[in-house]
Structure 1
């Protein structure tokens, strides 16, 4: 009969190794120069824009729309493209660090000031990168011929037409999923496994139309520039509540809980 204690110890060692890897990675990022963090965040903000762009292309070319199962699944799949570029390319994404960068603070190896510095630089880089991507697509769009302004408006409206409490709660779920993805990516050993994880987790966010502050930044910016029905107030309200919700979801439901159970189990 197998020894259940031995099995538990093996499982716990695996969890502890994941936590140790996250700690090392997060501390390394916290100690990077400001310019490096800002540029990495800028790169992530640019790259993640390909997801919303491909969503608009699918909506333009597909005979279906939101509510049609085939179209919804296809939209969720292409939504993941930007995340694949960012996560496998090792650029800095704010919603990953709502979990990764919190764990060294919980462990006493970093301060809240260190956390604020990392969050601030990555977040600003992500938003500026998303803005630059949006402007570049607007310049290219007339020559692309595969996407219409109406598609961008439809995507943005899907995020900004909800009540404010929904934006926050939806943001919590999106942050929870992104924090879980950061943990699972660290545990995964192969690029193929990581690719599948990104597709499944971010595809879930896309299928549920949850407000992700960085990808959603691009989605709503497209609507803001392309449609008079999307206002600056819509954009600011979305961004504020999605950001706070993402931070709560990643920090509380992943960083705090997983750190707590691994540390207590290891002891």
Structure 2
């Protein structure tokens, strides 16, 4: 006869051999918040070199998403505006995020939420937050730039991606009004912050992969500017096309980063922390 036990607020169903076979309840919101605070504090207290290297790894790994997008755009008979191609591109875009998040590398847009929550809870300071953000962000940007250089040198020779594909992807992000870049970046940061919350609440690797795909493919399908993945996308265009200028790149990076940070910090960290803490009173 199966028995039901509770661990950390979650109900588990056990078989007669005491092997857990199902999780039937969700993790309570207070447990999610506590886990996020613990994770945020762990990252805040990490050594500088560890954060930089982890951020560098994330910047390198996330580049596989934009690279696969360029390959699909090269090989597909359709293009932007074709539903099948758009869905394929959005799915390819999510691949880099799967590599980074499941690989537990440091991604700036995750920490715009994770690291803010311990500050709101009074367990970390603003200078500590700024240190974490700065180290992870620099590592992400440098890693993305290194990946782009390698891809630009190696990929065209393999015959699976064309320079025109890199240009097309970059133009999707830089041919917009400045206010659009910030507001759309805010939505991308909001979604990434929500993903950090959902990943913590999720049970099992399959559920986490599904969540990563749903959220990041949404960002890709809407062509929202994600500062770290977009760093690679726009750099591809800068290196491979005369149409994309250094000003386009720096303008994109500044506004997308500001929007991502505000979206993750305000719409997820502040609001969700507030509703959980007030709900517990």
What is the TM-score when the length of structure 1 is the normalising length?
A: 0.95
* 2:157 partner SS: helix
Q: Could you tell me how far apart the structure 2 residues matched to 1:62 and 1:97 are?
A: 35
Aligned to 1:6: none
Aligned to 2:129: 115
Aligned to 1:144: 158
Q: Could you tell me how far apart the structure 2 residues matched to 1:164 and 1:142 are?
A: 32
Q: Deviation string for 1:53-109 (max 9, x for gaps)? A: 000000000000000000000000000000000000000000001100000000000
Q: Could you tell me how far apart the structure 1 residues matched to 2:32 and 2:104 are?
A: 17
Aligned to 1:178: 192
- What is the aligned length? 259
Contact kept in structure 2, 1:141 and 1:147, CA below 8 Å:
yes
Return the offset for 1:162. 0.3
Which has a greater percent of helix?
A: 1
Q: Could you tell me how far apart the structure 1 residues matched to 2:262 and 2:35 are?
A: 22
In the alignment, does 2:91 pair up with 1:95? no
Q: Deviation string for 1:159-184 (max 9, x for gaps)? A: 00000000000000000000000000
Give structure 2 stretches of 5+ with no counterpart: 1-8, 11-24
In the alignment, does 2:267 pair up with 1:253? yes
Return the offset for 1:142. 3.1
**Partner of residue 15 from structure 1, selected from 25, 29, 49:** 29
Contact kept in structure 2, 1:224 and 1:231, CA below 8 Å:
yes
Q: Could you tell me how far apart the structure 2 residues matched to 1:143 and 1:67 are?
A: 28
Q: Which runs of 4+ in 1 moved over 2 A?
A: 9-13
Which has a greater percent of strand?
A: 2
Aligned to 1:105: 119
Higher relative contact order (CA 8 A, sep 6+): 1
Q: Could you tell me how far apart the structure 2 residues matched to 1:122 and 1:79 are?
A: 21
Q: Could you tell me how far apart the structure 1 residues matched to 2:229 and 2:275 are?
A: 31
Aligned to 1:83: 97
* 2:224 partner SS: coil
Return the offset for 1:12. 10
Return the offset for 1:139. 1.4
Q: Deviation string for 1:114-149 (max 9, x for gaps)? A: 000000000000000000000001110232210000
Q: Could you tell me how far apart the structure 2 residues matched to 1:47 and 1:144 are?
A: 20
Q: Deviation string for 1:31-68 (max 9, x for gaps)? A: 00000000000000000000000000000000000000
RMSD: 1.3
What is the TM-score when the length of structure 2 is the normalising length?
A: 0.91
Q: Show the 5 A alignment for 1:90-239.
A: 90-239=104-253
Return the offset for 1:261. 0.2
Q: Could you tell me how far apart the structure 2 residues matched to 1:114 and 1:12 are?
A: 32
Contact kept in structure 1, 2:156 and 2:163, CA below 8 Å:
no
In the alignment, does 2:266 pair up with 1:262? no
Q: Could you tell me how far apart the structure 1 residues matched to 2:92 and 2:237 are?
A: 18
Return the offset for 1:189. 1.3
Contact kept in structure 2, 1:12 and 1:265, CA below 8 Å:
no
Give structure 1 stretches of 5+ with no counterpart: 1-8
In the alignment, does 2:83 pair up with 1:55? no
* 2:244 partner SS: coil
